[in-house]
Amino acid sequence: MRDDEGMPQLRLALAQVDACVGDLAGNADLVVEWTRKGVQSGAHLVVFPEMVLTGYPVEDLALRESFAAASRRALDALAGRLVDAGCGDAVVVVGYLDRDAAGPRNAAAVLHGGGVVARYHKHHLPNYGVFDEFRYFVPGDELPIVRVRGLDLGVVICEDIWQDGGPIAALGEAGVDLVLCVNGSPYERSKDDVRRELVARRAAEARAPMAYVNLVGGQDELVFDGDSLVVSADGELLARAPQFVEHLLVLDMDLPAGGHTGSGPIGGFDVRRAVLSEQASAAYEPLPAPPVAEPLPDEAEVWSALVTGLRDYVQKNGFKSVVLGLSGGIDSAVVAALAVDAVGAAAVHGVSMPSQYSSEHSRGDAAELARRTGLHFSVQPIADQVRVFVEQLGLTGLAEENIQARCRGMTLMALSNQHGHLVLATGNKTELAVGYSTIYGDAVGGYAPIKDVPKTLVWQLARWRNAEAEKRGEAPPIPENSISKPPSAELRPGQLDADSLPDYELLDDVLDDYVEGDRGYADLLEAGFAPELVERVLRMVDLAEYKRRQYPPGPKITFKAFGRDRRLPITNGWREHAVG
């Protein structure tokens, strides 16, 4: 038995799960399954991420009345199913899409005993980066506090803790014993440990510990990394889940019951209290504290994000296998290695598609990659198709180069149609930024796994992945020659990327400042880049918007990924490099 019997105990379970947008039935099953796991672990309270029942983000589905009505019905049915599953005693917090007279709501419900005992509507609606919530949802200003086993629990949703002056301050003033923050917070590279620091700061503001539970898994271009955690009121990290895996984080907490009573209008909110159970749990022996997961090192974190995004895109869209072109170069080699890690070598089909300009080493490197990874390998020369197009249409120069890339794209799409594979595009972020790709050629595909990975990071990831394999005593998947040779599109004799582009190290530096850093021409000159280089790069970037829009979706690892949240005009007379 425990010593400090005066302090109520709570066994908390954070269910870091992988929901699929729109799949109300599947997501409800997920909630039942993981609640049951929580209850089997003795948890009193099981908390799920933001909009777990609908998946996140639902985009325009939020505006469909029939979908919102189905979400509300699914929530009610879920409350009943939890009782049937023997989880009626547990308190379960579930994010869902609500809708009332004011409009759609990003909501969280507290379920207990077969019914909904409280609902909270997200107050702060983010409308930047990947978020369009102000477009879709109506903000809430009611703040429920639910007493469970004598402890007062507040619920907030994601952005509510990222902006000042929201519900956390009101909860602090009203008084709570624990704050539950449910999230759909996408992975972003090199954010340092901002989440943990933020949660600690808000816990202090709420004068209560905070439990932060996040989605995990890929949804279109977003990758959720999990990283659920619990922080004490004074900022101590009590528990942390591993990234990029589904996980149930179970933690026993001793919480001083404050006997709070604040309600009514507080800090712009209407605070409403509900009592589920006044009686604290009978004292019990707590579980050992769960291990505190360490955030992954940079390359491992990026690799995991890319693998997670790819695996979920394949699986959630119902594909059983993928196909990609293997040129022998670094990009396709890294995408192949990612695909093998994501869906297994047996589900990966690599196709070498040599033309008359393909070098011997390219074909050899592609075959070597296949040998090392065990993926299915085939060779489909494109010379005959290219010859017909070139001769019939009298193609020369760029038109002749592009038709080669396009015959490869057509070959991959035909194999996809014939065999049901998802086609992977192998372009990287640097190419996408400057438009160094062929629309309907190498840009063909349903998913582009390294779309947000700059070329220099592609090399870095290749070396890291090979080193990891060596550490594990496995064969490094990527042929050394693919990493070390000078990059070439091989669309004409002796062609090298360096003929058309600046050195990749330098190019990525300029792009990082221009795209991610949003610096203008003058800032870039001030940063020491040569004017001719800056003008050349900016001209390419400014003119490539149409190509970028036609590129398949891919996992986002930076704030300024090229994709749905970054919208530049296509018809655009602005030339950044032309102004001082």
Q: Which of residues 27-46 bind a copy of itself (CB under 8 A)?
A: 27
| Near a copy of itself by CB under 8 A: residue from 18, 50, 301, 312 | 312
Strands, E assignment, 197-309: 210-214, 216-219, 222-225, 229-231, 237-240, 247-254, 264-266, 269-275
Nearer to a copy of itself, 81 or 387 (CB): 387
Near a copy of itself in 356-385, by CB under 8 A: 380, 384-385
| Near a copy of itself by CB under 8 A: residue from 12, 61, 370, 425 | 61
| Near a copy of itself by CB under 8 A: residue from 41, 163, 500, 572 | 572
Q: Show the tokens assigned to 35.
A: 């609640």
* Residue 148 three-state SS: strand
The residue range among 77-85, 112-120, 255-263, 389-397 that interacts with a copy of itself, by the rule CB under 8 A, is 389-397
| Near a copy of itself by CB under 8 A: residue from 101, 192, 282, 396 | 396
Asked if 395 is part of the footprint of a copy of itself (rule: CB under 8 A), the reply reads: yes
Asked if 411 is part of the footprint of a copy of itself (rule: CB under 8 A), the reply reads: yes
Catalytic, 50? Answer yes
| Near a copy of itself by CB under 8 A: residue from 40, 41, 127, 356 | 127
Asked if 520 is part of the footprint of a copy of itself (rule: CB under 8 A), the reply reads: yes
C-alpha to C-alpha distance for 410 and 123, rounded to whole angstroms: 48
| Near a copy of itself by CB under 8 A: residue from 410, 506, 525, 533 | 410
How far lies 335's CA from each of 240, 328, 460, 563, in Å? Answer: 30, 12, 13, 19
Which helix H or strand E contains 213, and what residues bound it? strand 210-214
Catalytic, 556? Answer no
How far lies 27's CA from each of 52, 77, 95, in Å? Answer: 7, 12, 11
Q: Residue 139: which of 180, 167, 162 has the closest Cα?
A: 167
C-alpha to C-alpha distance for 137 and 127, rounded to whole angstroms: 11
Angle at 235 (CA atoms; ends 159, 19), nearest 5 degrees? 40
Nearer to a copy of itself, 18 or 160 (CB): 18
Q: Which residue is catalytic, options 20, 50, 205, 368?
A: 50
Catalytic, 532? Answer no
Q: Are 225 and 305 in contact (CB under 8 A)?
A: yes
Near a copy of itself in 523-552, by CB under 8 A: 523, 546, 549-550, 552
- Alpha helices per DSSP H over 224-382: 298-316, 330-343, 360-373
Asked if 58 is part of the footprint of a copy of itself (rule: CB under 8 A), the reply reads: yes
Q: Are 61 and 28 in contact (CB under 8 A)?
A: no
Q: Residue 180: which of 167, 165, 193 has the closest Cα?
A: 167
CB of 399 to a copy of itself, least distance (A): 4
C-alpha to C-alpha distance for 21 and 412, rounded to whole angstroms: 28
Q: Show the tokens assigned to 397.
A: 């120069």
Q: Residue 130: which of 562, 580, 575, 569 has the closest Cα?
A: 562
CB of 308 to a copy of itself, least distance (A): 13
Q: Show the tokens assigned to 535.
A: 């003008």
37 marked among binding-site residues: no
Nearer to a copy of itself, 220 or 452 (CB): 220
Asked if 57 is part of the footprint of a copy of itself (rule: CB under 8 A), the reply reads: yes
CA 403 vs. chain centroid, Å, equals 34
| Near a copy of itself by CB under 8 A: residue from 467, 522, 527, 530 | 522
331 marked among binding-site residues: yes
Over the window 88 to 117, marking each residue x when it contacts a copy of itself by CB under 8 A and - when it does not, the resulting string is ------------------------------
Catalytic positions are 50, 122, 158
Q: Which residues are annotated as a binding site for deamido-NAD(+)?
A: 402, 431, 547
